[in-house]
């Protein structure tokens, strides 16, 4: 049976970035490192791209080669020890898609997210009934058990908005996400009331791109940009599509999607006008 691939975590990404920095700092290629340590270049590539956590003896060999002094050496070893721990997972999440569980872990450790959605209410802002209707519609072949597992995971994820140091969220939606009557008028009425409530939270910013705005930069699809508390942890982009889930972290991609989000902010209704639109839609659905 094939081995389940190591899911990336914030700490694993930080460890990978630090090992890349140390290697380039001593001006060694991966081939040079392999020649000095016997570590396979493919293995080193997987370590430096956060595909796997290095074994302790492998990590020590790398630290020796890079001549890493204390206390930095101890800090890196401690970082590696906790690098495999997913930040927030429940036992049943092992049955969810691997990319989704990785996303859940990143989201739980994020400081802020910028989320654009073209067709859905953002997952963190969905009511339970709306989430259930969406999941049933998007995954028509899923069993009742699978649907309920995903609904439970989606609802539990929302704890990041209510914790002591809540996640800061800036959500932009196309008006189509609000106009599509998912689950029927009653479900959408409840969903609009929920959006009206969360829009008043100080750590939340909601905007809608009105139909009248015409074509805009978000039309190709939805995306999430996540940033983390530590400056050493680079931002990450998550894209969910029918072709599969994708994580991007190259600086060029982060800049590009950041610029797209800024453009969407500019063409969207203001937060106050967005709240007025949500209240109007809730009244229509009542």
**pTM of the full predicted structure?**
0.77
98 & 173 share domain: yes
- Please tell me the least confidently modeled range out of 6-20, 168-182, 189-203, 207-221: 6-20
CATH number of domain containing 153: 3.30.870
The answer on 204 and 69 residing in a single domain is no
Q: Are residues 247 and 118 in the same domain?
A: yes
Pick from 62, 81, 100: which residue ends a domain?
Answer: 81
Domain hosting 236: range is: 91-285
Asked if residue 69 and residue 179 are part of one domain, the reply reads no
User: Based on the domain organization, do 99 and 55 belong to the same domain?
Assistant: no
Tell me the pLDDT tens digit for each residue of 130-147: 999 999 999 999 999 999
User: For the chain, what is the domain count?
Assistant: 2
Same domain, 24 and 155: no
pLDDT tens digits, 193-247: 999 999 999 999 999 999 999 999 999 999 999 998 877 777 899 998 777 778 8
Sorted by sequence, the CB contacts under 8 Å of residue 57 that are 6+ apart come out as: none
Q: Does 156 share its domain with 227?
A: yes
For position 96, what pLDDT does the model report? 73
Record the tokens describing residue 162, joined without a space.
Answer: 């209510």
Whether 1 is covered by a domain: the verdict is no
Q: Is the pLDDT of residue 89 over 50?
A: no
């Amino acid at each position: 049976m094939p081995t389940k691939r190591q899911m990336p975590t914030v700490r694993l990404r930080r460890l990978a970035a630090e090992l890349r920095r140390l290697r380039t700092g001593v001006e060694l290629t991966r081939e040079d490192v392999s020649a000095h340590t016997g570590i396979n270049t493919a293995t080193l590539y997987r370590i430096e791209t956060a595909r796997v956590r290095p074994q302790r003896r492998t990590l020590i060999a790398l630290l020796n080669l890079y001549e890493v002094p204390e206390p930095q050496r101890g800090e890196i070893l401690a970082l590696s020890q906790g690098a495999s721990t997913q930040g927030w997972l429940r036992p049943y999440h092992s049955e969810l898609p691997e990319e989704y569980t990785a996303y859940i872990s990143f989201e739980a450790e994020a400081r802020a997210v910028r989320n654009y959605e073209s067709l859905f209410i953002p997952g963190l802002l969905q009511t339970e009934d709306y989430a259930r209707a969406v999941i049933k519609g998007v995954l028509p072949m899923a069993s009742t058990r699978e649907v309920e597992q995903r609904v439970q995971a989606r609802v539990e994820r929302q704890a990041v908005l209510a914790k002591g140091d809540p996640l800061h969220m800036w959500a932009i939606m196309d008006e189509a996400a609000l106009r599509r009557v998912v689950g029927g008028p009653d479900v959408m009425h409840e969903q609009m009331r929920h959006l009206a409530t969360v829009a008043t939270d100080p750590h939340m910013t909601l905007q809608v791109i009105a139909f009248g705005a015409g074509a805009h930069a978000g039309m190709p699809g939805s995306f999430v940009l996540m940033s983390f508390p530590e400056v050493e942890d680079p931002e990450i982009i998550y894209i969910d599509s029918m072709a599969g889930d994708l994580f991007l972290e190259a600086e060029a991609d982060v800049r590009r999607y950041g610029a797209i989000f800024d453009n969407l902010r500019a063409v969207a209704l203001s937060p106050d006008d967005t709240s007025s639109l949500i209240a109007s839609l809730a009244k229509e659905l009542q």
